Chain A
Amino acid sequence: MAERKLLLEHSHETSFRTRAGYEQTGGYEGLKKALGMERQAIIDEVKTSGLRGRGGAGFPTWIKWNGLPKEKKTSHFIICNADEGEPGTFKDKELIEKCPFLLVEGMTIAGVATQADAGYIYIRGEYLDGARSLRSAIDEAYKAGYLGKNIMGSGVNFDLYIHMGAGSYECGEETALMSSLMGERGMPRLKFPHAPLPTISGVFEKPTLINNVETYCCAPFILKNGGEWYATLGASTKNSRGTKIFSVSGHVKKPGNYEIEFGTPLQELLEIAGGMVDGDLKFCVPGGSSVPMIKKAEVERAIIGYEEMSEVRSMVGSGGCMFFNDSTCVVTFTWRTAQFYANESCGKCTPCREGTRWMVQILDRILAGGGNPGDAELLQQVASQIDGRSFCPLGDAAAWPVAAALRVFPEEFAYFIENGSSMVTGAKTLAMAP
């Protein structure tokens, strides 16, 4: 298999960023169809497609779309999560910069299906190029009657707004994002079953749909070509349909975004990205910094799919796929990963707030040559006490990569603790430069 460009097919044509150019490639056919359908039929089409959320968790998209009240009693909102902050991931960046109309059309379709009054695109503050590209797409869509009052003469109203974040990884977590959108600190909210689902009471306490950029970008194709057609993509996998964009980086020759069909071997993704630079593959973090690392042997047999990746004890995650060569010190790498989560912990709950810092302290000590016997076990314990005990999944996401590194490369930790230097690079003190 090779690349299978669906969402990214026209991403390199600048005309695709204009309404006219977008329409020439079949743009807005999906919305036109949707406007002629019953709302439930739109949702059923998404169900048939087998689309699952591309933001990291892989939750079936249609269940969310179906979850908003059918009998509308109050305002409904939809949100696009464009806060992309998972280290290693840069696919939403490319989508909003180069394919803004896909997102605008996809959100409009979702808005029609869920009777939303308005949509908000929550974009991470740094992504200004993407935000400007979306701004001009939204303005053009309003002018052409694709947004606003009575879209395409259908009687449906739908407004679309841009809301910029201000620097916080945690705001990518959906309930924290809603807090942020409401003008609060980016802290998560109580979740089901302790609180209603967002589809019943989400942003501004109204029924809310939230999806990732890439998820919405699939909707125009599903509506245009039919859910059945979409489901033929990835049919070789257990339960993953369509294409997925992977952001490939690390020690590869051609880092970048590559769109593949589910069912493609992971090894092939590496080849598509030009293979390794300077040395052999040592390990891979296939789905963003939160997912467990896997060794070369697992990379060689891994198939890209939600269920398939769990067979090698990892995940598709956000699609931030990083390959590292044999010059990489796993202890130093784990230290840098742990630092990320400690910096981004919102501080709301104890296991994550204290645990992430504690993990960094232990790793600091090991890297400084002062590791104690038993530090690896201690690290493992702290990680396991964060996992499953945190208020939101950021805690779990902080624990998994550390636990995986300890499980996959125990000898490197043991060596560093005993000798006060890296087994790989030989570096003695806080060896931050690889």
Chain B
Amino acid sequence: MSDLIGLQTLSEKPTRLDQSQLKLNFSEAAVSQLEEIKSHYPSEKAAILPALWIAQREYGGFLSSEAIAEVAHRLHRAYAEVEGVATFYSMYNTRHKPGKHKLEVCTCLSCHVNGAYRILDLIEKKLGIRPNETTEDGLFTLEEVECLNACDRAVVMQVGDSYYGPLTESLLDTIIADLKSRTESTVIQMADEIVKVHLPESAV
């Protein structure tokens, strides 16, 4: 870990990071979005989850330690606290930087009995990666996930804000081809969309 988030700073002043060491990357729009969202709650701390969504977007789909430090700074919380929150939730990308698109395949109950592991196998072969890995070109990350709560469409896969199912080999080929042709990362797009639903029309 870099000095930026070192224990030195934390042990001296547990709730505040040394401003001079901090690089702030939130855009102007991001800052004003965070201000609006903060006004929805009686406590600043409650804005941690939405702020992490903003950070996930601003930092290219990945909550690096710099991203977490910025959230901690902006909400006047300790780095460790925000890190603890971020790592609790599976949709925040804290462990490794995901590819441009994240394929999240449900293997839970209804999907399982409808052949989810066969589908997962098929995707592994097509992309040449195992779950939690990213293709060399950085395009795709594969993940096995719990019930996406769209079991009527089992076997289901989520990519960004889109649900696909029932999955077949030809549907998979279509989805993969479509994703390859996109310029925007569905991971970043999704974080952006999540931030936006917090914001009333009057604030946009």
Residues of A near any B CB (own CB < 8 A): 75, 84-90, 93, 118, 123-129, 131-132, 134-135, 138-139, 142, 161-169, 180-186, 204, 206, 247-251, 255-257, 285, 289, 320, 322, 324, 328, 332-333, 336-337, 340, 343-344, 346, 432-434
Chain A: minimal CB distance from B145 (Å): 8
CB distance from B135 to the nearest CB of A (A): 22
Please tell me if the beta carbons of B45 and A183 are within 8 angstroms of each other in the complex.
yes
Most buried by B among A75, A126, A162: A126
Q: Which of B141-193 contact A (CB under 8 A)?
A: 146-154, 158, 161, 190, 193
Which residues from chain A contact B53 at a C-beta distance below 8 Å? 164, 166
Type the 1/0 row for B101-137, where 1 means its CB is closer than 8 Å to any CB of A: 0000001111011110110010000000000000000
Pair A183/B201 contact, Cβ less than 8 Å = no
In the complex the two chains form, what is the Cα distance from A172 to B107 in whole Å?
20
Asked if residues A164 and B84 are in contact (CB atoms below 8 Å), the reply is no
Chain B residues whose C-beta falls within 8 Å of the C-beta of A142 in the assembled complex? 200-202
Residues of A within 8 A of B118 (CB): 433
B26 CB-CB contact with A under 8 Å:
no
**Which of A123, A129, A134 makes the CB contact (< 8 A) with B161?**
A129
Interface size for chain B: under 10, 10 to 19, 20 to 34, or 35 or more residues? 35 or more
Closest partner residue, chain A, to B194 (CB atom): A164
* Closest Cβ neighbor of A168 among chain B residues: B89
Q: When the two chains form their complex, are residues A89 and B109 in contact, meaning their CB atoms are under 8 A apart? A: no
Q: Which of B50, B113, B152, B153 contacts A251 (CB 8 A)?
A: B113
Q: Is the CB of A165 within 8 A of B43?
A: no
Contact status A183-B46, CB under 8 Å = yes
Q: Which residue of A lies closest to B199 (CB)?
A: A135
CB pair B85 A184 closer than 8 Å: yes
Instruction: Determine chain B's interface SS by DSSP, over half rule.
Output: helix
Q: Which residues of A contact B146 (CB under 8 A)?
A: 85, 87, 169, 340, 343-344
What is the bound-complex CA distance between A164 and B57, given in angstroms? 15
Q: Which A residue's beta carbon lies closest to that of B112?
A: A336
Q: How far is the CB of B40 from chain A (nearest CB, A)?
A: 5
Structural contact, A249 and B110, CB atoms closer than 8 A = yes
Residue B52 CB within 8 A of the other chain: yes
Report A-chain residues with C-beta under 8 Å of the C-beta of B158: 126
B49 within 8 A of A: yes
Nearest first, the 10 A-B pairs at minimum CB distance are A167-B90, A167-B91, A166-B89, A183-B48, A87-B147, A249-B151, A255-B152, A128-B161, A139-B201, A185-B88
B49, B153, B196 — most chain A CB neighbours (10 Å): B49
Chain A residues near B151: list those with CB within 8 A.
Answer: 87-90, 247, 249-250, 255, 320, 322
Q: Which residues of chain A are near B59, meaning CB under 8 Å? A: none
For the complex, give the distance between the alpha carbons of A247 and B200 in Å.
31
Nearest-neighbour CB distance to chain A for B94, whole angstroms, equals: 11
Question: Are the CB atoms of A250 and B45 closer together than 8 Å?
Answer: no
Assess A135 versus B109: contact at CB under 8 Å? Given A90-B152, A166-B92, A340-B147: no
Complex: A166 Cα to B118 Cα, angstroms:
28
Taking the nearest CB of chain A, how far is it from the CB of B161, in angstroms? 4
B198 interfacial contact with A, CB 8 Å? yes
